[in-house]
Chain A
Amino acid sequence: MPEPREAAHPTDAELIARWRQGNESAAAELVRRHAPAVARFLAAQGARDDLDDLVQETFYRAFRRIATFRAAASFGTWVMAIGSNALKDWRRRMRRRHVLPLDDREVADRRNDPHDAAVARDLLGRLEQALSKLPRLQREVFLLRAQQGAAFDDIAAALDTTPGAARVHYHHAVKRLKAILE
């Protein structure tokens, strides 16, 4: 007899409810589930050496203010918005920014072609540098949409804006990235 779905693979909402009742393993499971995406989101904004600490700080803040979470946004997107604030505070404290030289960047090579991989690595490095020149909101909307695949409704709820405004920010981000990279 198959186990009930809730026990086998609880949804985020179910895990959140359990955490609110004091279940620590529910909190740990939410971290396991969303930490990789949150880490990619933060790394794309320049977090490197402090990534572990920053991801931990992001989830700690999220669980501390879980009472303010409304299901209008998905939990993952909401946590990423908190992560952006944590990154901003982190940078302010550190007074320095971690940007690795391009040679240290690694690109997943799915084509097994050294030339294509080199071109992709170069383009990815330039894209990351160009992203750092975008206004914060444009950068966040771009990453949530293009990197995380979030819907504009979800992005809007997490960033406390409207879906229409999120679309406009995305449009401007793409336009600006293109101008910078050209």
Chain B
Amino acid sequence: MLPVKDLQANRYHRYAGRVTMLLIVVNTLILGWELYLAYSADVDGIQTFFTRFGFVPVRVFAGERGVGISIISHLFLHGGFMHLLGNMLALWVFGRRVEDACGAWRYLFFYLFAGLMAAMVSAFILRNEDIPSIGASGAIFGVMGAYLLLFPEGKIQTLVLLPFLGIPVFLRIRAVWVVLYFLGLQAIPAIDIYLHGAVYSIGYWAHLGGFIAAIFVFFFLRPTAYRRYWSKLPV
């Protein structure tokens, strides 16, 4: 299941989505820089880059000097083109209307906040993790959670592979099902990590952490959207 497009229009600002687009551009440029490092610098260049700017809980708890920047920088790093594409597609699909409901400035800070919350939850659960975590997915799960809270009735055009047949079809699915589907995908491995100490290459707890941050979206809403929410009107 791949969300492709949010079918609803903006309500508050015709051009809302500029910060989302800016984030996509910044993430893409940084991936470009990573690729440049990987192909032109020495072999350890990209490794050093990830170690310095990726989020490593062990280094955070050890209080290593210069580790602070990784708390934010890891949100803008990706491990490859598909990693970036998946994240940015989700950011575009779910971010535009959340940005519209929050306003550009507050949305940017909400995005950072969700990313930080993801890092914090991840650091709590995986205290001894020494592999750098990278990716915007924690923040994007925050945005998805906010979307679920604000627009549960929203319709998302989703690319689905038909079971058994493997034929791709575009379906209009309610946002609540799309988001819950992705949340469900995180929950089982996250429990496995917590109970059995299983090792995965994906930061499931960071995703859940980002999702938790969505509860705070009400502090970031513009006044009209906030009032509409409490009036049970479509935000």
A pairs with B: no
Give me the interface of A with B, judged by CB distance under 8 Å.
none
